Amino acid sequence: MRFFKILSFALVIGLALPLLAACPKAPASVVTPQGRAAFKADQVLARIENLEDVVIRAGTPDAAGHRVISKADADLIVGFCKDAALVIRQTPDGWLAAVRVLWDRAAARIPPADLPAVQGYVLMISVLLEGAGA
C-alpha cells in the first residue's frame, strides 16, 4: 500500500510539474499584445486559483477540527494568491518581477518548523513562477 502511494505520488509529480510550467498559447483570434498578455495572465491566474482552492481546503478545519496545514500558513499562501491576483490584474503585461518579490516575502515568513507541511505548495508556486517566466 505504501509503495503504491509513493508510486502514485511520483507519477502525479512527474505528470503535473512539466504541464504546470507549460501554459497553452493564445488562440489565433487574440491579436493584440494586450490580448495576448491577458491570455497568458489568465492562464497563470487559473493555476493560482486552483492552488488557492486547495490551500483554503487544507487550512479549513474538518469535522474533527483538524487542519492539514495551520491557519497561519494558509493565510500566508492565500494572502499571496490575493496579492498576486491584484498585481496581475493591474499589470497583465509586466507582473512577474513584482509577484516574485511578493512570493519571496511570503515564503520568508513561513516558520521553518512548518516548511515540511507546506513544502508541496511552496514548490508549486515556485514552479508556476518559473514556468511563467520561461
Partner 1 sequence: MKIDPGLAQFLISTAITEVMGIVRERHAATGDLPTDQEVIDRMKARADRIVEKADAFLRES
Which residues in this chain contact partner 1 in the complex, by CB under 8 A?
2, 5-6, 8-9, 12-13, 15-16, 19-20, 22-32, 34-35, 38-39, 41-43, 45-60, 68, 71, 74-75, 78-79, 81-82, 85-86, 88-89, 92, 117, 120-121, 124
Identity at 87, one-letter amino acid code: V
**Cβ-based nearer residue to partner 1, 31 or 101:** 31
CB of 32 to partner 1, least distance (A): 5
46/97 with CB nearer partner 1: 46
The cell for 111 is: 516558520
Find the shortest distance in angstroms from Cβ 63 to partner 1.
15
Query: Shortest gap between Cβ of 38 and partner 1 (angstroms)?
Result: 4
The three grid cell numbers given for residue 129, joined into one nine-digit string? 513562477
Angle at 104 between CA 101 and CA 108, to 5 degrees: 145
| Own/partner long-range contacts of 66-74 (Cβ < 8 Å, ≥24 apart) | 68/117, 69/114, 69/117, 69/118, 69/121, 70/114, 70/117, 72/114, 73/110, 73/111, 73/114, 73/117, 73/118
Shortest spacing between CB 94 and partner 1, in angstroms? 14
